[in-house]
Every structure is written in C-alpha cells, then in structure tokens.
C-alpha cells in the first residue's frame, strides 16, 4: 500500500502570512498532486508534479507555489495566505505507470486563514 503522509493535519494562520504544507511518500511514484476540497466544488487541482523539479499548474494555481526537490516530497506554499484559501488540502500520488492508474490520497490538511 502506498504510504503518503501530509503535515500538518490542521493549521490556523493569519491573513498575509506564508504557509507551507508538506506531502511525503514512502515509494518512488513519479506523479504527485495537490488538490483543494471545498463544499460544492469537489476536488480542484492546484499544482502537480511529474518528477523532481518538474511541476505544472492546475486550474486553481493563483496564490500557490510548489516545489519538488526530492522524489518523496512535494511542498505546497501559500505565499501570503488569504481567507479564500481556507480549505482542506489533499495530496495524492498516481500509483502506477498507466495514464489512468488510480490516485492514492493522503488524509488531508485542514487550513483556516483568519
């Protein structure tokens, strides 16, 4: 079973502060994703990575940046947090080499921006 850990699980921060969320996998899966989940919107892609230092934007990337310096870690940074970024953030890995290999998700980070 793919091991994927998100940290922290909960965070409260103030508007304007930078925030970094971490996603760690214990296997060498190439594709990693950051999603946010909001009521009525489902999961929306923020950024994804297809290898070390290889990343691309998703549909809601404004205000977010990512970095992947090692295969196992994918970091999501909110440069200057806003209240609209209050959400639950999920990291996922694609668990196979086929284009439709399933996504395996972490348990999420609940972020509140006050």
Binding site for other proteins (CB under 8 A): 31, 33, 35, 40-45, 48, 50, 56, 58-59, 90, 92, 94, 98-108
Of the pair 17, 104, the CB lying nearest other proteins is at 104
Q: 18 near 78, Cβ under 8 Å? A: yes
Q: How far is the CB of 35 from other proteins (least distance, A)?
A: 8
Q: How far is the CB of 92 from other proteins (least distance, A)?
A: 7
| Those residues with Cβ within 8 angstroms of residue 78's Cβ, 6 or more apart along the chain or in another chain | 18, 19, 20, 63, 64, 85, 111
Q: Is 83 helix (H, G, I), strand (E, B) or coil?
A: helix
Token pair recorded at residue 1: 């079973």
Q: How far is the CB of 113 from other proteins (least distance, A)?
A: 20
Of the pair 48, 64, the CB lying nearest other proteins is at 48
Of the pair 12, 80, the CB lying nearest other proteins is at 12
Cα separation of the two ends of the chain: 36
Q: How far is the CB of 17 from other proteins (least distance, A)?
A: 25
Phi, psi values for residue 61, rounded to 5°: -85, -15
């Amino acid at each position: 079973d793919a091991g994927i850990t998100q940290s922290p699980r909960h965070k409260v921060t103030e508007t304007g502060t930078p925030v970094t969320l971490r996603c760690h996998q214990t296997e060498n899966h190439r594709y990693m994703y950051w999603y946010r989940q909001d009521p009525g919107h489902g999961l929306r892609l923020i950024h994804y990575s297809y290898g070390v230092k290889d990343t691309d934007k998703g549909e809601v990337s404004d205000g977010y940046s990512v970095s992947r310096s090692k295969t196992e870690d994918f970091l999501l940074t909110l440069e200057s947090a806003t209240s609209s970024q209050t959400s639950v953030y999920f990291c996922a890995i694609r668990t196979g080499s086929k284009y439709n290999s399933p996504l395996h998700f972490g348990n999420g980070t609940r972020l509140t921006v006050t």
